[in-house]
Structure 1
Amino acid sequence: MPYRSLRTLSEAGKEFMRMTEHENLPPLDQMLGRPPPPLEVPYTKGRAFIPLPPPEDIVLPAIDLRDAIEQRESVRDYAPEPLALHELSFLLWCTQGVRRVVDGAFTLRTVPSAGARHAFETYLLINRVEDVPPGLYRYLALEHRLAEESRDPGLPKHVTAAFLNQPHILESAVTFLWIAVPGRMTWRYSERGYRYLHLDAGHVCQNLYLAASGIGCGVCAIGAFDDAAINRLLGLDGEEQFLIYAATVGRKV
C-alpha cells in the first residue's frame, strides 16, 4: 500500500502499520554491511555488582506445565515475605537468560526474539529480595549478575507515580522493567522492527508469568505508564532506549 500522510492522531496506529509494511522500508543496515549494535548496553557506573546463583545450580519444585498455563492470572496483592536470591535468579534466567552467544553478533536466549536480536535490557525495582538492598538494578544478562543503578529511598514512590499510582508496585517484592533498545532490532528489520519489539515484550512477560508460578509467586503485567516520566527516572532518552513493558512480582497471599 503506498504511503499516505497522517491526517489525524486517531489514524496513528493504522499509519504505523501501513508505513512498516515491507514495501515501504528503506535498505536494511544488515544488508548494507553495517556492524550490529552491541549485544548489551555497556555498564559504566562502576557501582556494586551482585552475583546471581548459576541457573544450573538452582533446584526448584516441579510444576505441571498445563497447570501453570490453565491457572495463569494477574495477581496484584502480595504477601510481605521476600523472594530468595536464587528465585530472582531463576526468574531473570527464564525471561532473558543467555544460552549462547553466536559469532559475537546475536544471542540465543530462553525466550524467542525476532532474528535473535533480543533488544531488551532488564531493570529491577527491588523492594524485598534477600541479600539485595532495596533499590534500582540492571540485569547484566551476558554475565548473569545484577548491577546497581540507584539506592535512592524515594525512588519507589516516584516510579509508582510514573505508573499512574498503581499500588501493587510498592507492595511487590520486585518490579521488572523491560527497556527497549530499538537499534538492536532495526539494524536487521528497519522500522518494521518496532512491531517486533512489542511482540518480544509479550514473549518475555509470559515466561515471567509461567516461571513465577513455579515458585509460588504472582505477576501483574503493566502497560499503563507515563512514558516521559518513567524514562526520565530511569535515565533513558526515550528514543534510543525507552520503557516498553513492566510487571510486578510477589509472593501470593
Structure 2
Amino acid sequence: MAKNPSVPKMEGAEPPAPEKAVAPGTKIIPLPEPELLPDMPVNFLEVIELRASVRQYSQVPLTIKEFSYLLWCTQGVKMGLPKGASKRNVPSAGARHAFETYLFIQNVKGIKPGLYRYLAFEHALLPLKTAEEMGEAFCSCFRAQNMAKNNAVTFVWSAVPERMTYLFGSRAYRYLFLDAGHVCQNLYLAAQTVKIGVCALGAYDDDKLNEVLGLDGKDEFAIYGATVGKL
C-alpha cells in the first residue's frame, strides 16, 4: 500500500493569503451584488441533461449581470474562515480555494475588452491589460485558437499551490486538479440556467499562457480554462 505524502506542520506557520494582493488605490470595477441578481426557477434534472460543451457562439454580448452571476457561481465567497480558508459556492479540499480567476473579456456590455482578474472577496474586477496590449498573444496560447477568439469571455483559472500545500503537503497537487474540475462544472451548470454556452479548455501551451498572464509557472500556474458565449 502506498504511503500517504507527509503533511507539513502548521503550528507557527503564517497561512498564505486567500487572494493575491491589490495595491492600495488601484481602481477596481465592482460587479452587481449577488443578492441583486434575479431569482431563476430551475429544473435541475433538465439542466443536467441539457448541459453540453458549446464551441460556437453568437455575437450577442453577455450582460454584466449575467457575467457577475457566472463569477459568483464559480468562485463567489460566502464567508471568510481562519487560516486563509473560505466558504464559496464550489467545493474545495480543506476549504482552501487555491485559485485565481483570469478573464479575457471580449464581449460583455459595459466592460472594455481586455484581461482582468476576478477579486472574489470583493466581487469585483481588476483590470490588467487592454485588448490592444494583449493583441493575439492570449488566443494563440490555445490549440482551439478560433474558439478562443470568437467568444464573449475566456475564463482561465490559475493555481496558487502554497494555499493548498499549507494544509496537505505534496498531496495538495492532486486536490488542485480535482478542485479545478469542480469549478468548471459549476460554470457549465450556472451557464446552462441562463442559456449561455461553455466549453472547457485544457489544450494550451502552459509556458506561453503563464507568460501572457504574468505567472511564474511554479508559485502560480494556469490549471484550466473555458470559453463562454451566448447561444
Q: TM-score range by the shorter chain?
A: over 0.9
User: Structure 2 regions of 5+ residues with no counterpart?
Assistant: none
| Residue in structure 1 matching 2:101, options 122, 129, 139 | 122
Deviation at 1:169, TM superposition (A): 1.0
Q: Secondary structure of 1:157's partner?
A: coil
Structure 2 length as normaliser, TM-score?
Answer: 0.95
- Is 1:42 equivalent to 2:21 in the alignment? yes
In structure 1, the partner of 2:60 is: 81
Give the Cα–Cα distance (whole angstroms) in 2 for the partners of residues 49 and 113 of structure 1. 26
Give the Cα–Cα distance (whole angstroms) in 2 for the partners of residues 161 and 46 of structure 1. 33
Give the Cα–Cα distance (whole angstroms) in 2 for the partners of residues 247 and 226 of structure 1. 15
Give the Cα–Cα distance (whole angstroms) in 2 for the partners of residues 249 and 153 of structure 1. 21
Q: Secondary structure of 1:153's partner?
A: helix
Q: Secondary structure of 1:199's partner?
A: helix
- Is 1:183 equivalent to 2:162 in the alignment? yes
- Is 1:28 equivalent to 2:5 in the alignment? no
Give the Cα–Cα distance (whole angstroms) in 2 for the partners of residues 85 and 130 of structure 1. 6
Deviation at 1:215, TM superposition (A): 1.4
CA contact (8 A) 1:60 1:215 kept: no
In structure 2, the partner of 1:56 is: 35
Q: Secondary structure of 2:132's partner?
A: coil
In structure 2, the partner of 1:207 is: 186
Deviation at 1:27, TM superposition (A): 4.3
Structure 1 length as normaliser, TM-score?
Answer: 0.87
Deviation at 1:156, TM superposition (A): 5.5
Runs of 4+ in structure 1 deviating by more than 6 angstroms, as ranges, are none
CA contact (8 A) 2:7 2:167 kept: no
Give the Cα–Cα distance (whole angstroms) in 1 for the partners of residues 60 and 135 of structure 2. 18
Largest Rg, 1 or 2: 1
| Residue in structure 2 matching 1:167, options 139, 146, 162 | 146
Q: Secondary structure of 1:158's partner?
A: coil
Deviation at 1:153, TM superposition (A): 1.7
Aligned CA RMSD, in angstroms, stands at: 1.6
Deviation at 1:165, TM superposition (A): 4.4
Percent of residue pairs bearing the same amino acid type: 48
In structure 2, the partner of 1:251 is: 230
Deviations 1:88-137 (A, max 9, x none): 11000000000001235310000000000000000100000011000000
| Residues matched between the structures, number | 231
- The amino acid across from 1:242 in the alignment is F
